[in-house]
Amino acid sequence: MLQAIGAASVAELFESIPSELRLNRPLAIPPALSEIELTQHAKKLAGKNLGAETATCFLGGGAYDHFIPAVVDSLASRGEFYTSYTPYQPEVSQGNLQVMFEYETLICQLTGMDVSNASLYDGASATVEAALMCLAQNDGRRKVVVPESLHPEYRMCLKTYFQWIGAELVEVATPEGTLDLQAWTNAIDSQTACVILPQPNFFGIVEDLKPFAAAAKSAGASVVACVDAISLGILDKPSNWSADVVVAEGQSLGNPLQYGGPYLGILACREAFVRRLPGRIAGQTIDRSGKRCWVLTLQTREQHIRREKATSNICTNQGLFALRAAIYLSLLGPQGLKETALLCGQKAHYLKQQIASAPRYSIAFDGATWCEFVVRDQSGDVAGTLEYLQSKGILGGIPLGQWYPELSDCFLVAVTEKRTKCELDSYVAALKHLSVGAFVTNA
Amino acid sequence: MRNTKSTQLIFELSRSGRRAHLLPPADVPNVDLGSVLPSGALADAPPPLPELAEGDVVRHFTNLSTLNMSVDTHFYPLGSCTMKYNPKRNERLASLPGLVDVHPYQPESTIQGLLEILWNVQNDFAEISGLPAVSLQPAAGAHGELAALMVAAAHFRKLGQHRPNVLAPDSSHGTNPASAKMAGFETITVKSGANGLVDLNDLRSKVNEKTAVFMITNPSTLGLFDTQIKEIAEIVHSHGGLIYLDGANMNAILGITRPGDFGADMMHYNPHKTFSGPHGGGGPGAGPICVRDFLAPYLPAPTVGRKGDTYYLDQGGSDSVGRVRSFFGNVGVLLRAFFYIRSLGGSGLKEVSENAVLNANYLLSRVRHILPVPHGNRCMHEFVASASTLKKEKGISAMDLAKRLLDFGFHAPTVYFPLTVPEAVMVEPTETESKEMMDAFVEALFRITGESADLLHEAPHTTKISRPDEVTAARKPVMKWTAS
Ligand SMILES: Cc1ncc(COP(=O)(O)O)c(C=O)c1O
């Protein structure tokens, strides 16, 4: 090959790199491992972690230990799907493009929206992009109003992005875990571009959000719904409570926990917002001979065409996880999704009632919950409670003090369809054990 | 042999009452959730999803997969995308229990092995870049650009300097100016000279005390290493600006030269290109960023720290720009990068770049007899040819070539990017292709340029569909299926 090139050595090919800029030593990176050695090394490191396959996982907070049917892994691990690029050549990407179109339709069916994109990074970045869409749509308005019951990390992301573009995040307190209509209405004004309403909220509470959406609408603001995808098996579509844009973390839809990512940012909207939508969209068309087929469409919104005038900078998205979500939703169907949501809710309800009977613990908020709820440790020793549960092989909850100092005696507990009554009873037994002789400060 | 049903939509295959996934009966006492939850929040009926048997779902998606070209099935010389072989071992190892099933809010004591891996990934990325401070949080290259530009903005805010401008060459990727806009900057385009490198005079005339960052892709999107990089950095630094390196093209320089050593202050990697993360038909990626020490306080948190033998999450200080996403980052992609780096070792990584550059130069040496390559006879990991003569003389465009290559069983190169080359055909073979494969590609290209323009305008001829009507798709968009 060097002969064809007309070079004496491979080193000669790097001549354009000035010699004083070269790295004149080997990289300080450990030597190569064979596949056998690498496998042993990886197993050793993996073995130091306690995963949800070994422990019993009651952690949620935006990422859930739902069941993943074998079909999802099997299909998504086909090389034709996972080793292909973004479908720039539609003739040899009809598989991916059709999957994108089906995914978009499934998301519209789930949310009641008119249009979905083909995915964003995660629930938080989808929430930010939704806010940016509304700021652009309602030009001149610079405020976004959210309750403190919106995921704390999503609120942090909104702040991160807003500080450079002159937008303001208004956070409305939710001391009882739920929104207060008066406080909410007071926070919305003629500068409000949109509100973001979580359903269920970060504390697991389900509210009738219609009056809160209506308050935004009457001030001329748009409504962004931030929902749990599985909950839509039993909860009302956001389109029915006036949402203009819907976002969600799609991890629940057949995607593994893998310590926080890659996940799936779901973003769908009403027709009127479509030109503001960030990211890829697959659309239907016909080919040269009139055959139905799919292409990337409305690309003039995107960075590779419009550069700084694009609706967003997103390029690589989460295609593989949109595929997994499409397979998952196709497997579950309407009845499967509903039954999954019901099972989560019923099991969570049982655990919640049982925990309330352990003397040291109480349920922090009165609001109705679906699969997740907040437990108060009246002794205040949340760390002690969670450590004890961990010693019993239970990942028992997420301490809330890290985000809500006033809830430093509380933790968040999530229950999925995978949890058995036996596991729930073990959880309760552990809390009852901890309650024996507990010093109760404010029972 | 092809299954003709495979282009029916999953919704058209649906039949009322069919089920795939069955759930166990409830083992807890029944409660009527309808009476527990507020009635105004409940759905009358579940969403109208399709209803299918498990076998229907499997056959449908399996058949769809066969309509794709992929690295596993075809040569995929898509320039700027580094479509190298994605080692299967990485898929298996990243799916080990203890890695794939770890919840993002688990206590640190239960994830020491994982944090150890991530700590090592930080160190490896720092070593390869020559930039010591690393955040693994961003979810893709573009997200890394944005995060790093926010870091720059926070740095200048702290210094009390108003620097509203980002400079970027005309050959830069679209994400560069789009990211700059989202970080509150205005982008000013710097021209490339006839040699494809940054036009230093143009740069000098545009850089000033308003310049925050010069975003450069080096090696560039033309596949050239900018020999003037040191001078470029000096010019920008002398005005108090920072150099951002778009690291999409790191596959050419691993272990050979380091961005931190050639003047860059910040960069992102695309581990889904350079470190073999599979592209998944559009994602996932990751966009880890590396910066100089003085910029470290502004990085998104958390990062991984180590005290003695214990690993922990460092939540950063008050100068951090904040979070750019939820949870830690795209860990699944970072794990694959870790396994890739450990499989190759330091010297193996250098060989990756040597072979990537060797392959690209070999391909260049043969392609330039078929299509002119405006920017010289040598390249780094990729090169950009031009079909503009072919277009003038025979009416054959870059698009025609791209489409016809599909008939010969090759994925098309990137076309019409970078914008500075008319009828651009951007070819990146990567190190994992053989000489035989590249020879076959050249022969196909040669045959195609001898074919009639009419035949090419209608190419591809062997794929399931050909030349979809994108204009109508955009003018009257149909973006979801509706029951007729
Ligand atoms: C030169 C260049 N810069 C930036 C990007 C953006 O990276 P990503 O797609 O991971 O967001 C790409 C990838 O397409 C690229 O080729």
- Supply the CATH number for residue B331's domain: 3.40.640.10
Pocket lined around ligand 1, Cβ cut-off 6 Å: A 315-316; B 80, 140-142, 173, 175, 217, 221, 246, 248, 270, 285, 287
CA atoms within 13 A on the CB side of A213: 22
ipTM above 0.90, yes or no: yes
What ligand 1 atom has the least distance to the C-alpha of B287?
10
Q: pLDDT confidence of B5, banded at 50, 70, 90?
A: low
Nearest to B165 by CA among B193, B156, B147: B156
DSSP codes, A130-198 = HHHHHHHHTTT--EEEEETTS-HHHHHHHHHHHTTTT-EEEEE--TTSS--HHHHHHH--TTEEEEEEE
Give the C-alpha distances (Å, rounded to integers) separating B387 from A113, A349, B18, B180, B429: 43, 66, 53, 32, 19
Residue range B282-290: mean pLDDT, rounded? 97
Q: Give how far A215 is from chain B: nearest CA, Å.
A: 16
Out of B278, B312, B344, a domain closes at B344
Nearest to B224 by CA among B195, B185, B254, B259: B195
Facing A18 at nearest CB: one of B86, B103, B230: B230
Cβ atoms of A51 and B102 closer than 8 Å: yes
Contact B98 A54 (CB under 8 A): yes
pLDDT on residue B331: 98
Instruction: Give the residue from A10, A45, A365 with the most B CB atoms within 10 Å of its CB, the best one to mutate.
Output: A45
- Mean pLDDT (chain B) is 97
Facing A81 at nearest CB: one of B174, B281, B285: B281
- pLDDT tens string A370-413: 999 999 999 999 999 999 999 999 999 999 999 999 999 999 99
Contact B184 A80 (CB under 8 A): no
Tokens representing B52?
Answer: 């299918």
CATH number at B384 reads 3.90.1150.10
Answer yes or no: is pLDDT of B3 > 90. no
In this structure, the answer to whether residues B252 and B234 fall within a common structural domain is yes
Nearest to A163 by CA among A150, A144, A146, A147: A144
Facing A75 at nearest CB: one of B61, B89, B114: B61
Q: Please tell me the distance from the alpha carbon of residue B386 to that of residue B422, in angstroms, as a whole number.
A: 6
Facing B68 at nearest CB: one of A21, A96, A306: A96
pTM (2 d.p.): 0.98
Contact A33 B345 (CB under 8 A): yes
What is the distance in A from the centroid of ligand 1 to the CA of B268? 10
pLDDT on residue B1: 63
Domain that residue B204 falls in: 90-344
Q: pLDDT confidence of B376, banded at 50, 70, 90?
A: confident
Nearest to B254 by CA among B82, B394, B406, B390: B82
Residue B2 DSSP class: -
In this structure, the answer to whether residues B375 and B459 fall within a common structural domain is yes
Q: Give how far B306 is from chain A: nearest CA, Å.
A: 16
Cβ atoms of A106 and B120 closer than 8 Å: no
Element (H, E) at B364: helix B331-367
What is the distance in A from the centroid of ligand 1 to the CA of A199? 34
User: Looking at the domain covering A70-332, what would its CATH class be?
Assistant: alpha beta
In this structure, the answer to whether residues B130 and B232 fall within a common structural domain is yes
Contact A47 B98 (CB under 8 A): yes
In this structure, the answer to whether residues B121 and B140 fall within a common structural domain is yes
Cβ atoms of B292 and B131 closer than 8 Å: yes
Q: Please tell me the distance from the alpha carbon of residue A310 to that of residue B292, in angstroms, as a whole number.
A: 30
What is the distance in A from the centroid of ligand 1 to the CA of B11? 34
Contact A105 B480 (CB under 8 A): yes
pLDDT on residue B7: 78
Cα separation of the two ends of chain A: 81
Cβ atoms of B108 and A393 closer than 8 Å: no
Out of B296, B318, B344, a domain closes at B344
A108 touching B (Cβ < 8 Å) = yes
What ligand 1 atom has the least distance to the C-alpha of B144?
11
In this structure, the answer to whether residues B375 and B322 fall within a common structural domain is no
Query: Total domain count for chain B?
Result: 3
Q: Please tell me the distance from the alpha carbon of residue A80 to that of residue A82, in angstroms, as a whole number.
A: 6
In degrees and rounded to multiples of 5, residue B40 shows phi and psi of -70, -10
In this structure, the answer to whether residues B272 and B219 fall within a common structural domain is yes
What ligand 1 atom has the least distance to the C-alpha of B140?
10
pLDDT on residue B383: 98
Residue A199 DSSP class: E
For chain A, the domains span 56-65+334-442, 70-332
Percent of chain B with pLDDT over 90: 98
Tell me whether residue B158 is in a domain: yes
Residue B69 DSSP class: -
In this structure, the answer to whether residues B452 and B438 fall within a common structural domain is yes
Residues 6+ positions from B389 with CB-CB distance below 8 Å: B371, B372
Q: Which residues from chain A sit within 8 angstroms of residue B348, using beta carbons?
A: 32
- pLDDT tens string B123-146: 999 999 999 999 999 999 999 999
Q: Beta strand pairing status for A410-414 and A398-399?
A: antiparallel
Q: Please tell me the distance from the alpha carbon of residue A137 to that of residue A149, in angstroms, as a whole number.
A: 25
Beta bridge partners, B198, equal B192
Widest distance between CA atoms in chain A: 85
What is the distance in A from the centroid of ligand 1 to the CA of B285? 10
In this structure, the answer to whether residues B98 and B13 fall within a common structural domain is no
Cβ atoms of B264 and B234 closer than 8 Å: no
What is the distance in A from the centroid of ligand 1 to the CA of B183? 17
Tokens representing B460?
Answer: 């591809």
Residue B295 DSSP class: G
In this structure, the answer to whether residues B354 and B288 fall within a common structural domain is no
Complete edge-to-edge strand list for the sheet that includes strand A245-249 = A115-116, A265-269, A245-249, A222-228, A192-199, A143-147, A168-172
For the CA atoms of chain A, what is the radius of gyration? 25
Sign of the four-CA dihedral B256, B262, B266, B268: negative
Q: Please tell me the distance from the alpha carbon of residue A173 to that of residue A165, in angstroms, as a whole number.
A: 24
Residues 6+ positions from A368 with CB-CB distance below 8 Å: A205, A206, B36, B37, B38
- pLDDT tens string B221-267: 999 999 999 999 999 999 999 999 999 999 999 999 999 999 999 99
What ligand 1 atom has the least distance to the C-alpha of B221?
1
What is the distance in A from the centroid of ligand 1 to the CA of A315? 7
- Domain A56-65+334-442 belongs in CATH node 3.90.1150.10: yes
Tell me whether residue B71 is in a domain: no
Contact A1 B435 (CB under 8 A): yes
Residue A419 DSSP class: -
Q: What angle do CA B255, B256, B257 make, to 5 degrees?
A: 105
Nearest to A322 by CA among A387, A268, A392, A378: A268
Q: Burial letters for B80-100: b for 16+ Cβ neighbours within 10 Å, e otherwise?
A: bbbbbebbebbbebbbbbbbb
What is the distance in A from the centroid of ligand 1 to the CA of A303? 10
For the CA atoms of chain B, what is the radius of gyration? 25
Contacting A residues, span 13-72, partner chain B, CB-CB under 8 Å: 13-18, 20-23, 26-33, 35, 38-39, 41-55, 57, 59, 61-63, 65, 69, 71
In this structure, the answer to whether residues B367 and B309 fall within a common structural domain is no
Tokens representing B304?
Answer: 């991984």
Q: Give how far A441 is from chain B: nearest CA, Å.
A: 26
Facing A318 at nearest CB: one of B51, B284, B480: B284
Contact B361 A153 (CB under 8 A): no
Q: What angle do CA A102, A108, A110 make, to 5 degrees?
A: 105
Tell me whether residue B42 is in a domain: yes
pLDDT on residue A129: 98
Q: Please tell me the distance from the alpha carbon of residue A359 to that of residue A441, in angstroms, as a whole number.
A: 11
Region of A343 (left: φ > 0; alpha: ψ -120 to 50; beta: rest) is alpha
Q: Please tell me the distance from the alpha carbon of residue B418 to that of residue B174, in angstroms, as a whole number.
A: 9
Nearest to B179 by CA among B296, B282, B289: B289
Out of B326, B344, B362, a domain closes at B344
In this structure, the answer to whether residues B461 and B318 fall within a common structural domain is no
Cβ atoms of B179 and B145 closer than 8 Å: yes
pLDDT on residue A443: 40
pLDDT on residue B48: 98
Contact A283 B473 (CB under 8 A): yes
- pLDDT tens string B331-362: 999 999 999 999 999 999 999 999 999 999 99
Q: Please tell me the distance from the alpha carbon of residue A224 to that of residue A144, in angstroms, as a whole number.
A: 10
In this structure, the answer to whether residues B351 and B340 fall within a common structural domain is no
Facing A32 at nearest CB: one of B27, B178, B348: B348
Residue with tokens 């509210």: A207
pLDDT on residue A439: 52
pLDDT on residue A304: 87
Cis peptide before B460 (omega within 30 of 0): yes
Nearest to A268 by CA among A440, A106, A405, A384: A106
Tell me whether residue B366 is in a domain: yes
Contact A62 B22 (CB under 8 A): no
DSSP alpha helices (H): ranges in B67-111? Answer: 88-94
Which residue numbers in chain A have pLDDT < 50? Answer: 441-443
pLDDT on residue A442: 44
Nearest to A308 by CA among B250, B165, B242, B202: B165
Tell me whether residue B51 is in a domain: no
Contact B326 A154 (CB under 8 A): yes
Nearest to A107 by CA among A339, A335, A323: A323
A310 touching B (Cβ < 8 Å) = yes
